[in-house]
Amino acid sequence: MSSKQKIVAFVEPSFYGVSFARAAYEQGHQVIAIVSSKDNPAKYGYEGIYHDLLVADIRDGDSIYEAIAASPYFGRLDALIPATDYASHLTAQAAERLGLRGVPYEAALRARNKDLAREAYEQHGVPGAKYRKVGVLEEALEAAEAIGYPVVLKPTNCASSQGVYFIKNGEELREAFVQLQEFKVTYMDFKVREEYLIEEYIEGPEFSVELFLQEGTPVFAAVTEKRTSPLPYFVEVLHTLPTSVHRESETALIDTAVRALKAIGLVNGPSHVEVKLSASGPRIIEVNGRPGGDHISSDLLVQAFGLDIFAATVNYYLGEPAELQPARKRAAAIAYLTAERDGTVAGISGHEAWKESPYAVRSDLAVKPGDDVVVPRSSDDRLGYVITAADSPGEAKEAALALVRHVTITYEEAQLPLAHGQ
């Protein structure tokens, strides 16, 4: 804990970023939330763990700066920290104007935009996917032919698998491209760039590397095993920390992740790097210059190693030592409940076991009878989760999977229209 209370501002705490506000609040700091709406503490679940709100257009770096300049905290902030992916580069821009420690704006911009990141990997020889940036369908078709099917079509500045398509041929590409062009606005009203990526589809198991760097050197690193939903979608449905498979490749995965971070200019603080282990070795999928979401940092790191990456990050931004020595060596996993078909839920059973299992440490069921559900196309379509902890990664993983498989969802049958005259 800091020797004295500091003033720490967060730009739009939400999702994983709520853990930032909680960490700073519990450290005894004065927590300022810079938000697009005064309703957001209730919306994202951080009521009671902040001291003041400043309202700004978080889609505009100048607006963030001006909200601070017009506040009682101008010249008094000790740290300005992005607490949502989408505003990370804008927060960095405002922090540079305020003379505060943080991620360089250009590095944050590359991390936020997948095309700029791909260019940086290529320039620095970091193994990744073949790619082309495209703006219109004709360019996309040409790029896919040059790269070779199957390919992946994705937006350049979105997250949570939104707008990501697995494409096997030109017909599928035509259909998906029209759908993607209709996707104009993502989370928090950020605009979807009208430039897209066609990428080579890389075969192999997927991992994320959870890192904390100091001047380019990892002071903490762990590899998370991932499982995604069946193609053509890429929704993450299982995380196991540390990985239970390919342990012999952990060093190579970590080294590749660090090279990718250095290529885009992220050499300090936390990161979450997604990597596939191909037949030719690790290849970068994408870099995120923040702690891992999907409860990886807020729960799995805590359960497995007793680490609070959010508190360490607050300390880093304040110029204080980041405490990242694991307090224990266990394992944790999270498995997500998903729908096997589109429809209306008639009933749910089996989830009672989530509360009774000795492995389960936390769970959430976000679906009820009467809800319309779909086969998951993005993370927003998942229906709940259970987090488990155990002495080994395999044990934690199998416990989480068993608990999710124990749940049965039944569906209402569609009512057929009556024949004429009935």
What pLDDT score was predicted for residue 3? 54
What pLDDT score was predicted for residue 1? 43
What pLDDT score was predicted for residue 101? 95
Closest CA to 143 of 197, 181, 202: 197
The whole-number average pLDDT for the span 96-103 is 96
Asked whether residue 209 carries a pLDDT value surpassing 60, the answer given is: yes
What pLDDT score was predicted for residue 351? 96
Euclidean distance between CA atoms 29 and 10, whole angstroms: 12
Question: How are beta strands 269-278 and 131-134 bridged, if at all?
Answer: unpaired
Beta bridge partner(s), residue 10: 33, 81
List, for residues 361-396, the tens digit of each pLDDT value: 999 999 999 999 999 999 999 999 999 999 999 999
Asked whether residue 249 carries a pLDDT value surpassing 60, the answer given is: yes
- 8-state DSSP, 244: S
Contact 335, 237 (CB under 8 A): yes
What pLDDT score was predicted for residue 331? 98
| Residue where the block lists tokens 């729908």 | 339
The whole-number average pLDDT for the span 313-336 is 95
What pLDDT score was predicted for residue 417? 54
The whole-number average pLDDT for the span 285-309 is 97
The whole-number average pLDDT for the span 85-104 is 96
What pLDDT score was predicted for residue 415? 57
**Distance set, CA 271 to CA 80, 82, 111, 115, 394 (Å):** 17, 13, 10, 18, 25
Asked whether residue 419 carries a pLDDT value surpassing 70, the answer given is: no
The whole-number average pLDDT for the span 125-149 is 98
Contact 235, 376 (CB under 8 A): yes
Closest CA to 139 of 177, 172, 191: 177
What pLDDT score was predicted for residue 187? 87
Asked whether residue 421 carries a pLDDT value surpassing 60, the answer given is: no
Asked whether residue 123 carries a pLDDT value surpassing 80, the answer given is: yes
Mean pLDDT of the chain: 95
What one-letter code names the amino acid at 369?
A: P
Q: In what order do the strands lie in the sheet with 30-35?
A: 52-55, 30-35, 7-11, 79-82
What pLDDT score was predicted for residue 188? 86
The whole-number average pLDDT for the span 303-330 is 96
pTM attached to this predicted model? 0.94
Both structure tokens of 301: 């790191």
Contact 314, 294 (CB under 8 A): no
Both structure tokens of 297: 């940092």
Both structure tokens of 24: 């700073």
Asked whether residue 422 carries a pLDDT value surpassing 70, the answer given is: no
The whole-number average pLDDT for the span 203-215 is 97
Asked whether residue 398 carries a pLDDT value surpassing 50, the answer given is: yes
SS3 354: helix
Q: Residue 83, CB half-sphere, CA atoms under 13 Å: how many? A: 31
pLDDT tier, 413 (very low <50, low <70, confident <90, very high otherwise): confident
- How many of the other CB atoms lie within 10 Å of CB of 195? 15
Contact 306, 326 (CB under 8 A): yes
Beta bridge partner(s), residue 226: 239
Residue 287 φ/ψ, nearest 5 degrees? -115, 140
Helix, strand, coil share (%) of the chain residues, nearest 5: 35, 25, 40
Q: What percent of the chain has pLDDT over 70?
A: 97
The whole-number average pLDDT for the span 15-28 is 96
What pLDDT score was predicted for residue 71? 98
Euclidean distance between CA atoms 418 and 400, whole angstroms: 44
Euclidean distance between CA atoms 307 and 413, whole angstroms: 47
- Cβ neighbors of 44 (< 8 A, separation 6 or more) are 13, 14, 15, 17, 18
- Cβ neighbors of 366 (< 8 A, separation 6 or more) are 382, 383, 384
Both structure tokens of 25: 């609040």
Residue 357 φ/ψ, nearest 5 degrees? -70, 135
Contact 194, 170 (CB under 8 A): no
Closest CA to 298 of 287, 310, 314, 285: 310
List, for residues 165-177, the tens digit of each pLDDT value: 999 999 999 999 9
Contact 10, 17 (CB under 8 A): yes
